[in-house]
Amino acid sequence: MSKLTSLARQTCIRKHPIGQCNIITASANAHRCVHNQEKNESRYVVKREVEEVKIPVPYGEIAGKWWGPKDVRPILSLHGWQDNAGTFDTLIPLLPHHISFLAIDFPGHGLSSRIPNGMTYHTFDSVYLVKNIMNHYNWKKISLLGHSMGSIISMIFSSIFPEKVDLYVGIDALKPHINDPTKLAKRLSKRIPKILEADIRNQSKQEPPAYSYEELIDRLHLGTEKSVTKEAAPYLLERNIEKSSTNPEKYYFTRDSRLKYSGGIGWGQDINLELAKRMTMPYMFIKALRSPYYEDKKYFDEYVTLVQQINPTFELEFVDSTHHLHLTEPQKIAPMITKFLCKHWQKQSDSGRQ
């Protein structure tokens, strides 16, 4: 029996009332077994009210999943690089059901529109997107939950607009990583031609390579260095594949291939430390112990030490898991996030749905 299935069956029996700050929030009938014949899989998922939403942007629309009450400003939930809103499908149902969450697909990911041809993806562009979403819903403040790239974007936004962020939970990417500057030119010399090739393919509307569903699971599993388990892969694939028009028995990835060569932030540790001084809101960071730091660990420690000095609400948790722990082992972090939210979250009814 898988850990997720076991967890689902256990919480079904516990009969916690929905709508309270419980460590695991569920009810006797809060789970249902979903069997997808086409994908030939069965899994237990937590049953929560969720609605697909579309947010207009100048180049199309941002797709998302709104979990929970519609009269409550949601916690904006931001996924990692080349993932999508499905990354939170196993975690959010384990968090308090009276709190709303809006998990979005970043541009070029999931069901969201791609940026125009001839352009490239940059992580910092998504900081503008977060402010755009705030403006769309007329939110005075924002609450943030981010994984990996989404955590970095949340950290940057929180440091730029600390007065507008009432809480922030980051998962397994603390801040912009510090790369070896001597390798920058060589990396870009390889990446820029590949971006141009991907852009040409997009303009030709040529269908990407297609695979069987089982092959897609294997590719996602191995492509994330097994961080996404085969059992968890369908949560991401659901918003990331389409049937091939030439071979209906196979599927292809729909995410924009330009994402593979997108640019990171690129600034130095001095800027990260200046931004850290502004991280004064309730702040939790969760680090997976079996996931790399993606930089020299001294930069991580230096940032943490500074935030601990200036922010008494800062909480740092280390969890024995891999990079996608929120998706594959949500039961390990749901209790700590729930406890944090119960201390700091306050209902705001200015959801401003338009």
Annotation marks residue 148 as catalytic: yes
Return the SS3 of 222: helix
**Residues 160, 172: contact at Cβ < 8 Å?**
no
| Candidates 77, 100, 126, 148; catalytic one | 148
**Residues 92, 17: contact at Cβ < 8 Å?**
no
Q: How far apart are CA 123 and CA 234, in angstroms?
A: 25
Nearest CA-CA partner of 107 in 81, 86, 131: 81
Can you list the alpha helix ranges (DSSP code H) found in the chain? Answer: 3-14, 125-137, 149-160, 184-204, 213-223, 233-237, 269-276, 297-310, 325-328, 334-344
**Residues 349, 318: contact at Cβ < 8 Å?**
no
**Residues 172, 287: contact at Cβ < 8 Å?**
yes
Task: Using the Cα atoms of residue 56, residue 57, residue 62 and residue 67 in order, give the sign of their dihedral.
Answer: negative
Q: How far apart are CA 233 and CA 253, in angstroms?
A: 13
Q: How far apart are CA 279 and CA 62, in angstroms?
A: 27
Task: Using the Cα atoms of residue 288, residue 292, residue 293 and residue 294 in order, give the sign of their dihedral.
Answer: negative
Q: How far apart are CA 202 and CA 255, in angstroms?
A: 11
As annotated, the active-site residues are: 148
